[in-house]
């Protein structure tokens, strides 16, 4: 009998090429490994350039023939002065996404749409190698680029109808979610089981999607990592800052500013527009009181107006040490005991003296090179991250199941510069990401840390699949209910009810934080 023929003589059809996916927009050719597939640089919206700059994303054009999907698309336009990827290509034509899948199967897999962090001014979806989640977690992962900084969030009143300006980056994320709804089945994903997830600014975006009218019905669960879901820029403030920004780049006349801004060279718009200042930090990002985001997320959640979906939410034990470290490395800030009251005043205003009494420098050791950065970091970690997370978890849990965690590996691998400081960064902001994604740039995980990584992947992926996290080798993860948190640790994760007390959340609630 000839190979490839059945006993009846009919040829056996060749198996489909796992590297090829046919979509309504055209055919894509990705890459195939033994345990996953990747389709990179897939356009989900039209290039937002020329007349489409400062407008909601338009549909992507279809293409003829086979499109190569083997390389990540350019990062969205960003300021090279705050560039964590050291100059990799940026472009306004950047609205692409990347799809990581398990090997081909007849079964549709649940989907996680990952929104990257970067303070709404830098970063990209291409940083996050999601093959571990696809292979071990048996889920489809979509990582997304969205407009950043000025081109993503400028809220000049001349750019649209009243209240319908800014938030272009948020609209990009919604367009990506719609693309997932319409196309992910072609990649083996289940459009009926979509979790929107993100860290830092990506997690703040998830908070926005929980309350944004345009995001309704686009996802079934949410993951919020290390995201202080706090009040964002109100429209009047954002409009005034945007008018000032436009004047500074050569478009001072509000009547002609829209055409002027759309005609500027892209390099003129790399510097972000800043809406809000908190202490030494300036912030940009989504604008509230707008058509896209009518109500601030914390208020909407407190009022029970958030999407009623399961939420996995958490924070890292030492969040703010990263930001103190970056100031130390980039600006040469060397905090001293004499500077401590001023640091607290810049951050906490009239409450600074009360904060100082709760976070005295001498509690953090005798060495001022160490104790001042650690005291300041602890105060901001508790007041701006941990207790905000605790309050959000409590509010969200009144409407749907909520599972809360604290990442507590204080020896987590960190990039080289963070290992040369006079103070330890501990379980700092973003360090949990390398337990879920292969993000590189740090020493490898130890054996115990690798076990924790696998456990976290199991928890995250079962949450994406079922709305409830579980891991075969980890403790049962209860809903937040009585203040229960899962403390994620390499020597054994454990359930604790001491999170709020450890971070002094009762004190912070008296300050309105």
CA distance 375 to 381: 10
Are 513 and 502 in contact by the 8 Å Cβ rule? The answer is no
Are 458 and 348 in contact by the 8 Å Cβ rule? The answer is no
Among 321, 331, 419, CA closest to 373 = 321
Among 228, 169, 156, 190, CA closest to 393 = 228
Catalytic residues: 200, 319, 429
DSSP 452: H
Spell out the residues 6+ positions from residue 445 whose beta carbon is closer than 8 angstroms to its own.
Answer: 413, 434, 435, 452, 453
- Other CB atoms within 10 A of residue 329 CB: 13
Are 196 and 113 in contact by the 8 Å Cβ rule? The answer is yes
Spell out the residues 6+ positions from residue 469 whose beta carbon is closer than 8 angstroms to its own.
Answer: 312, 403, 459, 460, 462, 463, 477
Among 16, 25, 20, 18, CA closest to 182 = 25
CA atoms within 13 A on the CB side of 394: 13
What kind and span of H or E run contains 322?
A: helix 321-331
């Amino acid at each position: 009998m000839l190979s490839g023929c059945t006993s009846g003589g009919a040829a056996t059809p060749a198996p489909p090429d796992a590297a090829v996916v046919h979509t309504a927009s055209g055919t894509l050719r990705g890459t195939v490994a033994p345990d996953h597939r990747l389709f990179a640089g897939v356009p989900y919206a039209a290039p937002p350039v020329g007349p489409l700059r400062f407008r909601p994303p338009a549909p992507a054009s279809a293409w003829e023939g086979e499109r190569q999907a083997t390389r990540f698309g350019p990062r969205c336009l960003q300021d090279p002065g705050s560039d964590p990827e050291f100059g990799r290509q940026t472009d306004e034509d950047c609205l692409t996404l990347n799809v990581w899948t398990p090997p081909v199967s007849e079964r549709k897999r649940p989907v996680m749409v990952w929104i990257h962090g970067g303070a709404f001014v830098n970063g990209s979806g291409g940083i996050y190698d999601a093959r571990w989640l696809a292979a071990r977690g048996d889920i489809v992962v979509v990582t997304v680029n969205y407009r950043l900084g000025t081109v993503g969030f400028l809220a000049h009143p001349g750019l649209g109808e009243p209240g319908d300006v800014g938030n272009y980056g948020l609209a990009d994320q919604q367009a990506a979610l719609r693309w997932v709804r319409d196309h992910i089945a072609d990649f083996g994903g289940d459009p009926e089981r979509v979790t929107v997830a993100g860290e830092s600014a990506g997690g703040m975006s998830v908070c926005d999607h929980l309350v944004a009218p345009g995001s309704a019905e686009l996802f079934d669960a949410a993951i919020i990592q290390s995201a202080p879901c706090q009040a964002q820029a109100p429209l009047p403030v954002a409009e005034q800052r945007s008018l000032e920004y436009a004047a500074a780049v050569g478009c001072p006349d509000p009547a002609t500013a829209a055409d002027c801004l759309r005609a500027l060279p892209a390099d003129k718009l790399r510097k972000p527009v800043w809406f809000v200042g908190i202490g030494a930090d300036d912030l940009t990002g989504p604008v509230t009181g707008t058509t896209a985001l009518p109500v601030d997320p914390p208020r909407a959640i407190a009022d029970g107006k958030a999407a009623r979906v399961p939420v996995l939410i958490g924070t890292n034990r030492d969040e703010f040490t990263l930001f103190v470290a970056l100031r130390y490395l980039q600006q040469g800030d060397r905090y001293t005991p004499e500077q401590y009251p001023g640091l607290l005043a810049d951050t906490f205003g009239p409450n600074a003296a009360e904060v100082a009494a709760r976070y005295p420098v001498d509690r953090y050791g005798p060495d001022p090179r160490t104790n001042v950065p650690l005291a300041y970091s602890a105060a901001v970690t508790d007041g701006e991250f941990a207790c905000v997370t605790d309050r959000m978890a409590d509010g969200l849990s009144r409407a749907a199941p909520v599972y809360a965690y604290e990442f507590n590996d204080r020896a987590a691998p960190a990039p080289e510069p963070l290992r040369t400081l006079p103070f330890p960064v501990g379980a700092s902001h973003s360090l949990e990401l390398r337990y879920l994604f292969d993000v590189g740039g740090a020493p490898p995980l130890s054996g115990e840390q690798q076990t924790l990584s696998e456990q976290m992947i199991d928890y995250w992926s079962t949450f994406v699949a079922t709305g409830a996290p579980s891991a075969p080798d980890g403790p049962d993860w209860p809903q937040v209910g009585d203040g229960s948190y899962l403390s994620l640790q390499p020597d054994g994760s454990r359930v604790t009810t001491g999170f709020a007390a450890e971070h002094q959340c009762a004190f912070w609630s008296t300050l309105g934080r």
